[in-house]
Amino acid sequence: MPLIELKKICKTYSETKVPVEALRDVDLQIDKGEFSAIVGPSGSGKTTALNIIGGLDDPTSGQIIVDGHDISTLKKDEMINFRLHHIGFVFQAYNLIPVFTARENVEFIMLLQKISKEEREKRAIELLTAVGLADRIDSRPSELSGGQQQRVAVARALASHPSFVLADEPTANLDSKSAISLLELMEVLNHEYGMTFVFSTHDSRVIKRAHRVITLVDGMIASDVANNAAHED
Amino acid sequence: MLIQLAWKNIWRNKKRSLIILSAIAIGLTCGLFVSAVMYGMWDTTIRNTIDKELGHYQLHSNEYKAENLITNYIPNGETVIDSLQMQPAVVAVSGRTIIEGIAASPTSSGGVRIIGIDPPDEQKVTTLYQYMKQGTYLDTVKANTIIIGEKLAEKLNLKLNSKIVLSFQGLDESIVYSAFRIQGTFSSESSAFDETTVFVRQTDLFALLNHPIIFHEIAVRLDSDKELTAISGQIQQNFPGLKVETWRELAPELNMVNDMMSMYLYIFLGIILLALLFGITNIMLMSVLERVREFGMLMAVGMKRIKVFFLVIFEAIALSLAGGVIGIIFGSILTAIFAHVGIDLSIVGEGLSSFGVSSMLYPSLPWTIYPTLTFMIIVTAVISAILPARKAIRLKPSEAIRSF
């Protein structure tokens, strides 16, 4: 069974005078362990697709099944709870709570899940060590570089033991070195721990490393190809 | 966790938080101090009235309450006094003889209430002897001495050792005249009392009336007024033929002020908090609008809307309480300082004394104001944060994350 399944997903924005069809009859399946990128030009619907997979937006029609749950029928608070337990997020920017340290940011998700203090602290240190920030545990976001902040965001995304991680343009605000370093980290997590990553991106560095590239154009899947070169790497 | 996050969030913009915090602190410092002055003023007035004049409660014959004639005295007054002195919680008892009469000098005259007292007994019940301005209290063995108010002395153009003629109706309805020598003058801070009340010794009064001493009024002082109603109820049961009244019944206008004092305080402080509410709402709205993306992120990663709502509420409470506590501390310090040294309002003493209010004010506050004010601050904070909190939870995470 696929981890994520979109069935005839349509999304139309009616707020403007002329309704905008962001997604049109999109059928998509993503399996566990994938390292896939949804790509396309601006306005292609890739962010909308990611938002719908993450339950941040509701489809106008269609069905979306995530980890065996039909999330298109969930109420707002049920969806928030579902995201907490099943989905990890890495955003382009403003991922972290500025007043919390790196450790507190990672612990925050586990706090929301009502995990015990002892376990939270242990796991937070483990995750920050895994992302290479063992020496920056007590630093605040303002004391970290952009790349380091994104690493903390990855650690936080993994803290809740999610089924998969959605990353919306995670390298957009990073310099080349930081972007490559971040992507290598995510690859390691995918390869060694089997964590599923789904990106929304137009960064060629991400596309190059993705094992599968799903291209959206005008709200429809134009192509869906395996990136064999990335697999071999 | 929410509280910790809320506390840290309010210090993200230190300048802005300090401004609103200072506004709350200054507002409450001033509000508390002014409230303490008002409360102290009325509390002092009530205490003075009890101390100088009324005592905690008084007994009269029922007939005297209907018509204060000299013949409507308390039957077996001495027995009543002896019985009262045996009561627990009774500190002192003073029997008074009260006669309405005229006081005259060579130049003027005026209606007065002539109160015949036993000076040692009276000094244990009231504190008027502490307010002598000239001369001495009625403590000499000289016959026909009198103490009068400064206002009356001024009106009759009399001074210490002057002669004053009292005329009044006797028990046999005949008119009695006698001259008294002014032994002392008092100023009780109530100009009405000072102008219309004179004190003489009971022994002198009844020598003129040619009658054994009788009492029209028995004033009682208790060790505290905590069980005033219970004790007066008990006394009433013991003496069903007499009218027993507490100071609350004897001075209903003061009783009303006493009951309303606390309410006035809370209304006054409530008005200050209402004004501050708008400032806090403004600050919280600005804070939420600045953090739209952050709130979007929080809801996206799994923070329930109710928690986001309470986060904003807790931020407002933290900010308000921080300012409130500082305001309460400074207000209390200011009150304590002036409670010790007093505020001298003698410049407007004349006006104040016409209301029976002392010109030396000692601010004070009931202890109950502190927990109540703290609760009011929290309520103000919650109300002020509702609009910003609603704004935060109505954000759509997908749009908020991408806002600028």
Whether B126 and B166 map to the same domain: the answer is yes
How large is the average pLDDT for residues B125-149?
86
- Which residue is closest to A52 within chain B, CA to CA? B398
Mutation site, A23, A47, A57, A99, interface B, largest B CB count within 10 A? A99
In a domain, B232, yes or no: no
Structure tokens at B235: 């006394």
Q: What is the pLDDT of residue B24?
A: 93
Is A77 within 8 Å of B397 when comparing Cβ atoms? Answer: no
Report d(CA B73, CA B342) in Å as an integer: 42
Alpha carbon of A231: minimum distance to chain B alpha carbons (Å): 30
Q: For residue B9, which residues of chain A lie inside 8 Å, CB to CB?
A: 99
Average the pLDDT over each of A48-57, A222-231, B19-28 and give the range with the smallest value. Answer: A222-231
Structure tokens at B226: 């905590």
Instruction: Give the other-Cβ count within 10 Å of A117's Cβ.
Output: 10
Of B9, B300, B401, the CB nearest to A99: B9
Residue that wins the pLDDT comparison between A181 and B139: A181
Structure-token match 């403590």, residue found = B139
Whether B98 and B175 map to the same domain: the answer is yes
Number of helices (H), then strands (E), belonging to chain A: the values are: 8, 10
For residue A230, name the pLDDT band (cuts at 50, 70, 90). Answer: low
Range of the domain at B291: 2-50+255-401
Q: For residue A57, which residues of chain B lie inside 8 Å, CB to CB?
A: 396, 398
Whether B71 and B209 map to the same domain: the answer is yes
Is B12 within 8 Å of A98 when comparing Cβ atoms? Answer: yes
Alpha carbon of B323: minimum distance to chain A alpha carbons (Å): 21
Whether B284 and B304 map to the same domain: the answer is yes
Is pLDDT at B106 greater than 80 in this prediction? yes
Alpha carbon of B291: minimum distance to chain A alpha carbons (Å): 10
For residue B356, name the pLDDT band (cuts at 50, 70, 90). Answer: low
Whether B160 and B288 map to the same domain: the answer is no
Report d(CA B103, CA B183) in Å as an integer: 15
Is B302 within 8 Å of A160 when comparing Cβ atoms? Answer: yes
CA dihedral B228, B229, B233, B236 (to 10 degrees): 60
Is A99 within 8 Å of B8 when comparing Cβ atoms? Answer: yes
Whether B11 and B66 map to the same domain: the answer is no
Structure-token match 């929301």, residue found = A112
In a domain, B248, yes or no: no
Strand segments, DSSP code E, in chain A are: 4-13, 20-30, 35-39, 61-66, 69-70, 87-90, 164-168, 196-200, 212-217, 220-226
Mutation site, B301, B308, B395, B402, interface A, largest A CB count within 10 A? B301
How large is the average pLDDT for residues B337-343?
89
- Which residue is closest to A166 within chain B, CA to CA? B301
Q: What is the pLDDT of residue B115?
A: 93
Alpha carbon of A89: minimum distance to chain B alpha carbons (Å): 6
For residue A69, name the pLDDT band (cuts at 50, 70, 90). Answer: confident
Q: For residue A98, which residues of chain B lie inside 8 Å, CB to CB?
A: 12, 294
- Judged by a CB distance cut-off of 8 A, whether residue A158 touches chain B is no
For residue A136, name the pLDDT band (cuts at 50, 70, 90). Answer: very high
Whether B366 and B265 map to the same domain: the answer is yes
Handedness of CA A129, A133, A139, A142 (dihedral sign): negative
Whether B63 and B209 map to the same domain: the answer is yes
Structure tokens at B303: 């923070």
ipTM confidence score: 0.89
Alpha carbon of B11: minimum distance to chain A alpha carbons (Å): 9
In a domain, B231, yes or no: no
In a domain, B240, yes or no: no
In a domain, B241, yes or no: no
Whether B32 and B92 map to the same domain: the answer is no
For residue B375, name the pLDDT band (cuts at 50, 70, 90). Answer: very high
Q: For residue B306, which residues of chain A lie inside 8 Å, CB to CB?
A: 77
- Which residue is closest to B8 within chain A, CA to CA? A99
How large is the average pLDDT for residues B364-369?
88
Alpha carbon of B47: minimum distance to chain A alpha carbons (Å): 54
Whether B383 and B291 map to the same domain: the answer is yes
Number of domains in chain B: 2
Is B1 within 8 Å of A108 when comparing Cβ atoms? Answer: yes
Which CATH code, of 3.50.50.60, 3.40.50.720, 3.40.50.1980, 3.40.50.300, is assigned to A4-232? 3.40.50.300
Whether B218 and B334 map to the same domain: the answer is no
In a domain, B206, yes or no: yes
pLDDT tens string A38-48 = 998 888 888 89
How large is the average pLDDT for residues B165-184?
89
Whether B217 and B76 map to the same domain: the answer is yes
